[in-house]
Chains A and B, each alone.
Chain A
């Protein structure tokens, strides 16, 4: 059984409530943080090696240390709870099951950064989670952990929930800030980065739910102890959202470094493939990351065991590797149509493109259309090259990473499963055998 730092108390009856959470040792990190120098807390987070858990994996301590601190200008901490990357549902689980952990992390982190107002931006579809968080925040106010003179110190903090309204793009931090300012979720050109000019033009740190929650054990145990968990630059624990054709879908907290094979087949985690079937492919870190074919899942191209770490999952680059991303772990069995799955991703990115940059706005639509054409049995071999060409012309040519996120799944599907595209084109009758095949003509036009 691996060490759990975030979900260790998740099954304690009543842990959603302040009373039980506090009795179980909750808010100890705030008690401790309030006695520390702010810079010393940032130092502990640096030492912990914590990397952003939303997907990008940027070192959190470094992000915090970039925060500008001009005199007389307010600073903000904003929590990104806009979880929308297909395959990812860990933040929802954490907020629903143990809401005070996020609040505790928000208070300790806000104190470290010198923020007196903090917002948790949650996606609109998680309205029921919003209510859970709202209730927990009220409890925290009532117990004196929020508001003026927190626990008798001169530190003040107000924490608010903010709701979105359905837009994947708002998970991109500058789009999130635009949305929080009451605008369309159009990403901003960087620089300036939010650390210099973020919310209302003020220095702002934006961190994922799980990242903020991880600050709690880091303060409690110290950064050095935290860094002992995991392997190399992949320190600590990570929440993995496991879905698809597995026996035990759900959210698992793993110590970084667990072998991918163990994660898929051990009863402690996914419990193997449904119906004892074979695995065909894996999307290891949410829809945006390159898909891995069966022979590159358990081992890397070099033949080394593939581990659940930032480095091992990326081993081989885009040619033979993938990314840990958000930890959205989608398993596909031997009967899965890779082309059809890719179509659902392409439709997703087309729907979610904000429309600011032409390569993404136009390209995502073209990719969806071409995949639909192939799935209708009307594809030509040139379409595969066209898809490749379009994705290559989106990647790296947009102001935010949505373009890359739309391009990578297409590129990797063609790289590893080109023969399936060819089969659909040369022998359209093979398309009819696809499991859950749904006549595309019946679907709404894209």
Chain B
């Protein structure tokens, strides 16, 4: 079910996966599953965590909603606002900067007509500068979903953008393929 609907609930498969994760921790320590479950929820409900979605995750773990909010707001991968179907995260720290990350950012801004941190009016693309993604030797790079696109050039970016069009929908979660 999609976000915005009254009844927020994981699909049976995701529910099963959530229970498997919860079983990884000792008795009474199920709160450890909070971050993994927020990832699952973000993937299942449109790539972001609306308040009712966080409330739902909290209810699964039998914790207070505030415990989910405070975690979701701490970690940069959790989106607290709706974003584009295709979120392009460009690494901008040292090594990537040295190898031309800003050329890549500038090109993306030009091609998509938006600034870093914005979403295209059709809601398809979001672009964001992010901190070191651990691809320093393969710079410059950006991440889309769980894929690292490395050794980027302007030409490579153009080709990738073509592939990201239309029905493209990336998944960030480590648990769903």
Contact = CB atoms under 8 A, between A and B. Distances in A.
Nearest to A169: B74
Contact of B97 (A74, A84, A131, A344): A344
A180 interface: yes
A283 B94 CA distance: 10
B98 interface: yes
Given A200-B29, A436-B100, A444-B129, A165 B94 contact: no
Contacts, number: 179
B8 interface: no
Interface stretch (A32-40, A86-94, A365-373, A415-423): A86-94
A162 interface: yes
Interface string A235-247: 0000001111100
Interface stretch (B33-41, B80-88, B160-168): B33-41
A125 interface: yes
Interface stretch (A182-190, A221-229, A301-309, A395-403): A182-190
Contact of A443 (B95, B116, B139, B146): B116
Contact of A330 (B63, B98, B172): B98
Interface in B36-73: 36, 38-39, 61, 63, 67, 70-71
Interface of A, secondary structure class, is mixed
B76 interface: yes
A442 B115 CA distance: 8
Contacts of B24: 158, 160, 162
Interface string A161-190: 111111110000000000111111100000
Interface in B104-150: 105-106, 109, 115-117, 129, 131-139, 143, 146-148
B169 interface: no
A128 B147 contact: yes
A334 to B, nearest CB: 12
Contact of A86 (B117, B136, B173): B136
B13 to A, nearest CB: 16
A130 interface: yes
Nearest to A83: B134
Contacts of B115: 442, 444
A428 interface: no
Nearest to B73: A184
Contact of B71 (A131, A158, A183, A244): A183
A131 B131 contact: no
Interface residues of A, number: 67
Contact of A165 (B70, B75, B116, B117): B75
B144 to A, nearest CB: 12
B134 A164 contact: no
B34 A182 contact: yes
B135 A165 contact: no
Contacts of B109: 442
B93 interface: yes
Interface stretch (A4-12, A345-353, A374-382): A345-353
A352 B136 contact: no
B148 A128 contact: yes
B97 A162 contact: no
Interface in A103-117: 117
A162 B95 contact: no
Contact of A89 (B75, B78, B136): B136
Given A163-B35, A183-B71, A84 B78 contact: no
Contacts of A91: 134
A351 B91 CA distance: 13
Given A166-B75, A436-B103, A92 B35 contact: no
B32 A88 contact: no
Contacts of B138: 89, 249
A125 B95 contact: no
Contacts of A161: 174
A287 B38 CA distance: 30
Nearest to A117: B26
Interface of A: 74, 83-89, 91-92, 117, 123-128, 130-131, 134, 158, 160-168, 179-185, 200, 241-245, 249-251, 283, 287, 328, 330, 332, 336, 340-341, 344-345, 347-348, 351-352, 354, 436-438, 442-444
15 contacts: A89-B136, A117-B26, A124-B174, A125-B77, A125-B133, A128-B147, A166-B78, A184-B74, A241-B136, A242-B137, A249-B139, A341-B98, A344-B92, A344-B93, A442-B116
Given A162-B36, A436-B102, A442-B109, 18 more contacts: A84-B131, A86-B95, A86-B131, A127-B146, A164-B75, A182-B33, A182-B61, A182-B63, A200-B26, A200-B29, A243-B98, A243-B136, A336-B98, A344-B92, A344-B93, A344-B97, A348-B131, A442-B116
Which 4 interchain pairs have the tightest Cβ spacing? A165-B75, A166-B76, A182-B34, A166-B77
